[in-house]
Amino acid sequence: MIKFTVITLFREAIEPYLKASMMWKATEKGLAEFDFVNLRDFGLGPHKSVDDTPYGGGDGMLLRCEPVFAAIESVKEKDPQAKVILPTPVGEIWTQEIARRFARVSDVPTQHYIILCPHYEGYDERILSIVDYKISLGKYVLTGGELPALIIIDSIVRLIPGVLGGEQSAEIESFSNGDNLEYPQYTRPEDFRGMKVPEVLLSGNHGEIAKWREKHSGNA
């Protein structure tokens, strides 16, 4: 079982995805659990403020330390083992290999990840002292950590044994062995508007099919 606690100001932007399809099935099967903490609950003053202007000047607002630390500590109080993930464009680039590492839970009964979703222009650098993993989804800048949080969650949860229909689909799929890209696949009909399924795939010759797939996979 892997548990995710998402600290965000925009739960409504994340929750519908986790209540659909495979993510929902994973929770139904007790393989994953999703929880939310509203950063606003830890805001300062009458306006529950969570951000402020940067020292030294500059555009935009930064997430302040106090609400972020209080929110993370409120989760860690109940589970000191929980690991904190910060989506940030300057983090380590997320890959299938890292997702697999995060999905490996054999050493603890419940792996618990806290994902802190920054918003606005950024965060106070001192927040990094409470973060275990800085993760980037790519060399581009998004408005917040909500989309990265969903991508991180999805790519981990689908690797938990029992989440995908065919037990082995996650294993044999693209990227599972290093960086190889998946081979082309076809289903019925055999001929669609003149575009035909390659003959070898209809042959029933498993050796030849395996060879064809290897040759046509992205790493060939």
Residues of the shown chain interacting with ligand ADE in the complex, contacts defined by CB under 6 A:
87-89, 136-138, 140-142, 145, 148
**Least Cβ distance, residue 64 to ligand ADE (angstroms):** 18
Residues 6+ apart with CB under 8 A from 75: 5, 7, 37, 82, 114
**Least Cβ distance, residue 24 to ligand ADE (angstroms):** 24
State both tokens at 103.
């999905």
**Least Cβ distance, residue 156 to ligand ADE (angstroms):** 15
Residues 6+ apart with CB under 8 A from 193: none
Single out the residue of 146, 171, 175 nearest to residue 160, CA to CA.
Answer: 171
**Least Cβ distance, residue 18 to ligand ADE (angstroms):** 18
**Least Cβ distance, residue 119 to ligand ADE (angstroms):** 9
Positions of E strands within 56-170: 62-63, 83-93, 111-116, 122-123, 133-136
**Least Cβ distance, residue 143 to ligand ADE (angstroms):** 7
Tell me how far apart the alpha carbons of residues 119 and 7 are, in angstroms, rounded to a whole number. Answer: 11
Q: Which is nearer to ligand ADE, 2 or 86 (CB)?
A: 86
Q: Which is nearer to ligand ADE, 105 or 142 (CB)?
A: 142
Q: Which is nearer to ligand ADE, 24 or 120 (CB)?
A: 120
**Helices marked H in 6-64:** 11-18, 21-28
Tell me how far apart the alpha carbons of residues 32 and 205 are, in angstroms, rounded to a whole number. Answer: 39
Q: What is the CA radius of gyration of the chain?
A: 21
Q: Which is nearer to ligand ADE, 52 or 89 (CB)?
A: 89
Q: Which is nearer to ligand ADE, 116 or 163 (CB)?
A: 116
Q: Which is nearer to ligand ADE, 88 or 155 (CB)?
A: 88
